[in-house]
Structure 1
Amino acid sequence: MQLIYSSPFAATWDQVDFALALTRYDLLSMQPHFPGYPYFILGGMLINTVIDNGAKALAVFNVLAMITSVIPIYLMARQYINRQQSLLVVAVIQTASYVGLIVTQPMSEGSAIAFLWWYIWSLFQAKNSDRFVLQLLPLLFFSIVLGIRLSYLPFGIGIILLWIYDWKRFESFGRLSRLVVFAIIFQLCWVIGLIMTEGSVSGFIKLALSFTSGHFNDWGGTQVTASESVFNRLLTLIGTNIVWNGVAAKSLLLLLVYSILFIFCCNKLLTQKLYTRSDYWLLIIGVTYFIWALFAQNIDKPRHITPLVGMVLFQLLIMILKRSFHIFLVVMLTVIVLSQVIVGYKLIYEQATEQPATYQLGNYLDAQNEFVVLYTWEETRVLKYNNVSFPHKRIFTYERFLQDKLYYKNATIYVTDHVLKGFESQGVNVSGFIEKVTSFSSSIMSDPSYGEITLYKWKD
């Protein structure tokens, strides 16, 4: 299902960055944006030789990568529960509706989550063995994870835990030094490649600083501002992003069945010992990323919590199945799997077959029999990707807008609601200058930022 209905659209700024990178890899032109996502783009390039659609090629690579994660999830579950129970765990995690939707998008989260499972599995393999070669496995997989999505850096706490454990066992400075050297070498494999694309170390550093200076501030959506308390961000992250979006996929059906499962097992979870020592590692890894998502990620984009969804489900199911495995639990988990398949199919099918709102916007203005100019926010990246026939500009400030539109005296000026919201945040009231024309909508689950776009005509 995911392979057939992988999204063929590059509907957001980031998705366009990735799709363009398959034909010309250029960080300076944001193809893709920093830090380059080299392993993700490489996977997309390989699939692109068979599928002549950059966006769909990247999505298919995600799906294929996610299929392989069945193996580490199953092997990890087998360390705690039997074969039949482990298969149920795999089924629940692999059919998770929201994660499945994200996997079918041309975004790096899908393949990053897949290799994250391999990385976590390799951590426990290394922990349970004295063999030096197995200590290298998590270093290799973590390099692949970061080469796909650098924002998963906090998961590196797992390697720190492994090295602390290794030191307690061997107290060998030489052994630990070799592990550190190998960790650096594995990361340099993709970092050096990126430096070569920029021509020099200094050029690469300048590019990195220019990106991070904008990403970790208000416009990047990652900074905790005075207008939004940490408590509110916490509620949004847990209640909205993890539970309502991540686990339930905004489905009352899924919310209901998961609530019944949790209530049924709540007594067992609260009255018995919950974790083994190995479980604490997974808990620490998850909490570390949770803190990162709370303070250093855009809280308005639920996709940033997708790796936590699988980890939460894995922990919950293992704790439940270790202590209970009777017919009611089997029925409940089967109902969850079937419900997730139904909800997930609907979401994935809509995403793949319905034009994104950004595409609808471009098609609408292309069809106008007049000279039009559109002022947008991030929509302009998608419009350029689709080679629309009308001028469109990304605008941030009201003063710049007033100055720029003077160059188009004979044109009909249009603005999107995202631009108007920006003007309002600057204390400008434009209600007397605008006339609503129409609205475009697509899946909000797929694109919470630009799944709904309202177009306005500017009246002087």
Structure 2
Amino acid sequence: MLILLQLAWLGWLLAFPVALDSDDALNFAHGVTRFSVLEFSPHFPGYPAFIWLARLINLAVDDPARAVQWASLLGTALIAPLAAWLAVKLWQRPSLLAPVWLLVLALPLAPTLALSGLSDGPALAAWLGALLALLHRKAALAGLLLGLMLALRPSYFMLALLPLWLGMAQKGTRLRFVLPITLVGLISLLFVWQADGWAYFAEGRRFTDGHFTLWGNTAAAHGDRLLSWARTFNDQLTPLWPLLMGALLLLPLWPRSKDQAAALSPLWSLYWLALLLWTLFGQNPDNPRHLAPITLLGIVLLAGRLPRWGERPAMLGALLLLCTTLTAPAPPAMVQAARLAERTCPALVTQWGVRLLRETTALPVTDGWYQGDAALALTQGACRLSRRPIAQSEMPLPHQGHWFAPRFGAEPGLWLAIPR
């Protein structure tokens, strides 16, 4: 039954039109045909394993945009079963399989990751697979999956902390665990080296500095961004998110039974807390997909605290939530906004999807980051694309606005302000 639901969910997402809706996804599509971090194909750190996966798919479809979207889709489709099996193994409760599986499928994050054309979904699947393999004491497989996770999404290095600890703690299998990680790392390094050489490391330093101090919009550089996370949590996890986070933080103090061993180790809660802090201070709250690791791990850790009498109601509730997540297949808000802008706007000012709009529309596109250029373009009648409604006082000319709703809860909506 679960497998049939999974296939139906996959078929539903395949019905959505192939459409890139971010600069990052466009960069990956360029990387399928020509890999170079210096050319932002894709941007640093390069995500070599995702490029390999997309290139493999591209052999069959011969369409880079479709290849990156299908790579995301196939990787994301593995998250729900892997999270469910991890909860079952961690808590030694086979009855948790269905509730956790259905709940992960029902998250607004799931379809967003699947259709993003980004590496988050495959990397999360590799991470969950590595944790599951470690619990089964499959050291070589765990090392391979952990190496692939880092090659799929190197910025997930914080996620590697607990798998590395668990892998190195298994005496007698350390070499089998470390060797695959090392081999995947060396192959990835050779892959980026043959494209960019030493310049790869200079670009890495520039990109990292920019992420944390300039355009990354992280709380590490802009303390007020912590307040933005409250809104993002509220949108993704309902207004109950303070209770859910509090439960996870108090998990080590929860009464435990003798048959619950690994899952109740304080190490798992400390790991979740470390991921939470990294997310709050090192990631951009404008992108809810950054919540995926702590959300998935939180579900797995709290699943064992679900009373046995509550498993069936939880399963039915997750199934109902899944039904409410389903929407009619449609292009993303970015594509819809671009179509209207081409018909009604002489030019466009935006901070979102600048490169994508320049390559997919005939409009002159001004990057809103450069405020002087943006102000000049707006006084000349350019439209403005934003993730929030634009007030009349924020535009030099009277305008009318059009709101493009997101397809899923974890996607951004877009506001197009058109001068009258």
Q: Could you say which residue in structure 1 is the equivalent of 2:339?
A: 363
Answer yes or no: is 1:298 the counterpart of 2:284: yes
1:438 aligns with 2:394: no
AA aligned opposite 2:114: V
Post-superposition offset of 1:80: 2.8
CA 1:58–1:339 in 2, change beyond 3 Å: closer, same or farther?
Answer: farther
1:336 is matched with which residue?
317
Moved over 4 A (4+): 175-182, 268-271, 417-422, 429-432, 444-449
Over aligned residue pairs, what C-alpha RMSD do you find?
3.9
| Equivalent residue, structure 1, for 2:201 | 205
Matches within 5 A, 1:261-276: 272-273=255-256, 276=261
| Cα distance, 1:193–1:394 mapped onto 2, change above 3 Å | same
Distance in 2 between residues matched to 1:420 and 1:93, nearest whole Å: 28
Amino acid at match of 1:211: F
Contact kept, 8 Å, 2:87 with 2:96, in 1: the verdict is: no
Change (3 A) 1:241 1:138: farther
Query: Using the alignment, how far apart are the partners of 2:91 and 2:134 within structure 1?
Result: 16
Aligned length: 403
Deviation at 1:367, TM superposition (A): 2.5
After superposition, the Cα gap between the structure-2 partners of 1:225 and 1:445, relative to the gap in structure 1 and judged at 3 Å, is farther
User: How far 1:436 moved relative to its partner?
Assistant: 0.9
How many Å separate the matches in 2 of 1:180 and 1:270?
A: 33
* 1:191 correspondence with 2:200: no
User: Are 1:89 and 2:100 an aligned pair?
Assistant: yes
Change over 3 Å in CA distance of 1:333–1:454 after alignment to 2: same
Equivalent residues in 2 for 1:373-392, closer than 5 Å:
373-386=347-360, 388-392=361-365
Matching of residues 73-222 of structure 1 within 5 Å: 73-74=84-85, 77-126=88-137, 134-162=138-166, 165-166=169-170, 183-198=181-196, 200=197, 202-222=198-218
Please show how residues 51-66 of structure 1 align to structure 2 within 5 Å: 51=61, 53-66=63-76
Q: Say which SS state the counterpart of residue 453 (structure 1) adopts.
A: strand
User: In the alignment, residue 272 of structure 1 is paired with which amino acid?
Assistant: P
Structure 1 regions of 5+ residues with no counterpart?
A: 127-133
1:19 to 18, 29, 32: 29
Superposition pairs for residues 216-295 of structure 1, below 5 Å?
216-225=212-221, 228=224, 232=227, 236=229, 240-242=231-233, 244-248=234-238, 272-273=255-256, 276-280=261-265, 281-295=267-281
Contact 2:99/2:312 (CA < 8 Å) preserved in 1?
Answer: no
1:140 is matched by which residue type in structure 2? L
- The CA deviation at 1:156 is 1.8
Does residue 307 of the first structure (1) align with residue 293 of the second (2)? yes
Contact map agreement 1:358 1:382 (CA 8 A) in 2 = no
CA contact (8 A) 1:20 1:31 kept: yes
Change (3 A) 1:229 1:338: closer
Look at both structures and tell me which one has the larger radius of gyration over its CA atoms: 1
Q: Deviations over 1:164-205 (max 9, x none)?
A: 634xx57xxxx868865654333222122111111x2x2111
Give secondary structure in 2 for the equivalent of 1:287. Answer: helix
Unaligned regions of 5+ residues in structure 2, if any?
1-8
Q: Is the 8 A contact 1:78 1:86 kept in 2?
A: no
Hey, what's the Cα distance between the residues in 2 that align with 1:308 and 1:432?
39
Q: Cα offset for 1:76?
A: 5.1
User: How far does residue 448 in structure 1 lie from its aligned partner after superposition?
Assistant: 5.2
Q: 1:79, CA displacement in angstroms?
A: 4.9
Q: Is the 1:38–1:190 contact (alpha carbons within 8 Å) kept by the matching residues of 2? A: yes
Normalising by the residue count of structure 1, what TM-score does the alignment of the two structures yield?
0.74
Identical-pair percentage: 17
CA distance in 2 between partners of 1:420 and 1:101 (Å): 19
- 3-state SS of the aligned residue for 1:434? coil
Deviation at 1:96, TM superposition (A): 3.1
